[in-house]
Chain A
Amino acid sequence: MLKRFWSWFWFIVGATYFLVPLYATFDFSLRARRGELSFAAYANVLNDIKFVESFWFSFQTALATIVISALVIVPTAYWVQLRLPRLRPVIEFFTLLPFVVPAVVLVFSLARTYSRTPLTDSREGLWVLLVGSYVILSFPYMYRAVDTGLRAINIHDLTEAAQSLGAGWFTILAQVIFPNVYTALLSGAFITFAIVMGEFTIAALLAQPAFGPYMNRLASSRVYEPSALAIISFALTWAAIAAIQRIGQGAQARVAGPR
């Protein structure tokens, strides 16, 4: 009985911590018109073409980041576990660098390194730099997720089984490894998605029309709209994650179950 009470108690404390600010933001966002509750602020946000553009821009950027990150991380984590297990701590350390190196430093070193190349003198080039930076930011989450996913399956025997059946490395990666770390990959992808959608520093420094800088600009020029935007982006991000999950569900169901 008492145990039950305490679990509920902590659940409610946690939920309050999470929901009260959200509710306060929501409540505030409804007070754009004096003396009444209205969705005027929402209408203002949604009618702003910049909102749609920047959200769509960041959405695409996030997807590109996830795809590239997965293509880099999965083969790397796989190969390290299969053939270079002693390098695992080293690789893990490298993937954690984004926690150590501030985003400002990262973006300036990138800009310096690639200055006077096509990467820095065009909008598309800068976008490539942006995605590149985000891929690096995603490493800690993606690598850990994939590494754990790989540990849950016997990659040694699966690899050798596939090899003895005639499979080459590409086939093994595409048909055996990727499908089996798909679920793990998704969890890394969600975090990456959320980070990219809200990222400000790098996008601003590279002068990209991303959602983060847009939110920031709005916050400094308006009163009620930023709150409405926060609620909208919160809902949209969750919706996007739900959509990604739905797409991945088929594969997920197949790999699930005891092993």
Chain B
Amino acid sequence: MAFLELINIHKSFGASVAVENFNLAVERGEFVSFLGPSGCGKTTTLRMIAGFEKPTAGRIIIDGVDVTDTPPNRRNIGMVFQSYALFPNMTVADNIGFGLKIARRPASEIRARVEELLRIIHMSEFGRRYPYQLSGGQQQRVALARALAIQPKLLLLDEPLSALDAKIRASLRQEIREIQRQLGITTIYVTHDQEEAMALSDRIVVMSRGRIEQIGTPFEVYNFPATRFVASFVGTLNLIQATVVDAAIGLVTVEGQLVRVARPLTQHRSGDAISLAIRPELIALNGQVNGEVNRLSGTVEDVTFLGSIVRVRLGLASNKLHFDLFNNPQLRPPQPGSSITVQFAPEACLVLGEEAASAHPISASAAQAA
């Protein structure tokens, strides 16, 4: 049985539904992220696990025990907040030791544990400081240590890094991941930053409007998005309007140029208008890939230098196509205004269902490609 189980969770505030039909099983030691746009119910779900909100319906099981009606202070769950929420009146050491003091552990044990945690977060010299004497990144590390001090069953983090600047964010998220691995603690991490979710998670729960869109590893979610929403929310995506020429062999046309997708378009007929989705990094300049490829020609409209990669916008008659080149100082990137041809494999094309409904899955052809 899974370590944490959310069974048919439903939560409404008055008439508005914040979370519905939420089912999730998390294994012991797993790192799971909730990813989704603002207002999709990530925080609400996390707060239900922590016990700060009561589900309107459904059960929450932790380590085999139904905790749905257990108050938050009896759940033994560590929580890290976006605002750090350190107690301003206590030193760093007292903050970290707070939970142990409440559990009436002997002073010597508390001291030893606080020292150990200060070492884990690389802040041994900071025990006597007050929170206001620390930087944001340091405060959040203390908050993490404080949550871990009570040896919680679960660690919950609600956008812990979003108040920090980019550099610290990247290094601290690595630190969080290392500590999590080291302690083997089951962790739920809420974020609206897909890069963060991908870099950290064993599995990602992609949410939209209170529902789960997809649960999967970062690899699965990125490469095989289950719904149109996931495809467009996770990573950047080129959406191209195409017309089906021959559904049986997966042949379509994009503004008169023929393109083959890897699988038959079982849900479509010749003449249907469809959307093709292609990741920018799967498109290359013509001539760099062997085997069967699709080619599209157009005019370079814009070239953006992003450091390690160069993003190029290619204009067809009405569609736009973004693609990435690795930066190479020896090679001049394509110049705006020039005509070029790009290529991509049939497997790179995802076919999104024509219905706009976000819950509609991509046709099987795309989901099983590559």
Contact = CB atoms under 8 A, between A and B. Distances in A.
Question: Are A and B bound to each other?
Answer: yes
A165 B150 contact: yes
B29 interface: no
B83 to A, nearest CB: 5
A86 to B, nearest CB: 14
Interface of B: 50-52, 71-79, 81, 83, 85-89, 98-99, 102-103, 130, 132-133, 143, 146-147, 150, 152
A174 B4 CA distance: 33
Given A166-B99, A166-B103, A158 B73 contact: no
Contact of B85 (A158, A166, A182): A158
B85 A161 contact: yes
A257 B85 contact: no
Nearest to A154: B83
Interface of A: 153-154, 157-158, 160-168, 171, 175-176, 179-180, 182, 251, 254-255, 257-259
Contacts, number: 77
Nearest to B149: A165
A176 B85 contact: no
Contacts of A161: 79, 81, 85-87, 143, 146
Nearest to B86: A161
B77 A164 contact: yes
Nearest to B156: A164
Contacts of A158: 85, 87
A82 to B, nearest CB: 12
A180 B130 CA distance: 13
Given A165-B73, A258-B132, 10 more contacts: A161-B87, A164-B72, A164-B152, A165-B147, A175-B98, A176-B87, A176-B89, A180-B88, A257-B133, A259-B132
Contact of A160 (B79, B88, B102, B152): B79
Nearest to B150: A165
Contacts of A175: 87, 98
A255 B71 CA distance: 29
B88 A166 contact: no
Contact of B88 (A153, A162, A163, A167): A153
